[in-house]
Amino acid sequence: MNLGTRGIEEALDVLQYANAPQGIAYSDQRAENGHAEPYGIRMWCLGNEMDGPWQAGHKTAEEYARIATEAARLMRQEDPDLELIACGSSSSQMETFAAWENTVLTESYDLVDMISAHAYYSEKDGDQASFLASADDMDHFIDSVVATADHVRAKLKRDKRIMISFDEWNIWYQHRAESRPPSGDDWPVAPVLLEDTYSAMDAVVFGNLLISLLRHSDRVASASLAQLVNVIAPIMTAPGGEAWKQTTFHPFALTSRHAAGQVLDVRVTAPTFKNTRFGKSSAADAVATWDEESGALTLFVVNRGPEGEQALDADLAGFGDLELVEAVTLHHEDPYAANTQDAPETVVPAPNDSVALDGGRLVGALPAISWSMIRLARRA
């Protein structure tokens, strides 16, 4: 919903256009436009990055909290079962971060289900080590939003827990020329914008961010990659030409396809590496999912250490008799290698033949700056 240059009345108009049965002005207009049946949209965001001074209709936390609360109140009168997302901070680097969430949720707590979070990461000034540890920042960001939301819950003496909608996240090199919009008299038709080319290292960090999101799935109820095609995207296309998969496509597709069931709390012991952003970070990070019904166990693991292979040794005895289904690793000797239109298969997951089951232990080797997926299944 646009709560910047528009307001409560317009929010209700949009809701009625999308979801109301025919018989009122906006639902009849929808039918005239070719869609007689309601769309039935359940999830609605109440504004976007309203704390950002770059936004048209930028508001203070108090101003936004008031309009979001009243919009939510009237939307729930239309349909009490909607999922409503309050606008959180544009990033954890905003000066008002956490104070914004506190003010907004104090006002709107009883009327919203989630609060949004946005984060983009990139290698800055050649600081490879800090970039490889980006998931540490995402972990801290999520934990901080959860702590703030739970503080408001305690303050208001409520039973309900507010969840997080991480509805913008990605790798984005905002300092690159590709990310700068046209200016002055330079206004071409359909210009190339934000078409970042992603490296093997970008894909490893990307896969690690997915690990962080899965690890926090008890409080992250929704997460959306921004964007999907061409614009900071896992899929690229050329006008009149081919489509190809960026490096980041692979951890996204494989995690989406194989992460199922319960998310398990994986405890990782690994060497650390130094970086200027966080001081020290673990060279390895992992998460696992277990589907009790199908007996599928999937481990997602990164060796994000900039130097040195890491030995994999996981105790799986508690899962009973397992068999190894698949082990793949995304890695390239050149961490800056990328997939292009002319060479779309430069960086792809490949079988990791070092991975094996040894009794109740999973063992193997993970090369430096790599992302791996290991699938196991309960033996029939």
Residues known to be catalytic = 49, 168
Measured in Å, how far apart are the chain's first and last C-alpha atoms?
50
CA of 330: how far to CAs of 123, 135, 174, 271, in Å? 19, 18, 25, 21
DSSP 182: P
For helices 99-108 and 61-78, give the axis angle rounded to 10 degrees: 30
> Which tokens sit at 69?
């609360």
DSSP 286: E
> What region does 234 belong to: left with phi over 0, alpha with psi -120 to 50, or beta?
alpha
Per the CB < 8 A criterion, the answer to whether 49 and 87 are in contact is yes
Burial class (CB in 10 A: 0-12, 13-18, 19+), 154: exposed
> Which tokens sit at 101?
């969430």
Q: Which residues pair with 262 in a beta bridge?
A: 290
CA of 292: how far to CAs of 11, 248, 264, 298, 378, in Å? 42, 29, 12, 12, 9
> Which tokens sit at 286?
């992992």
Q: State the pairing for strand pair 262-264/272-275.
A: unpaired
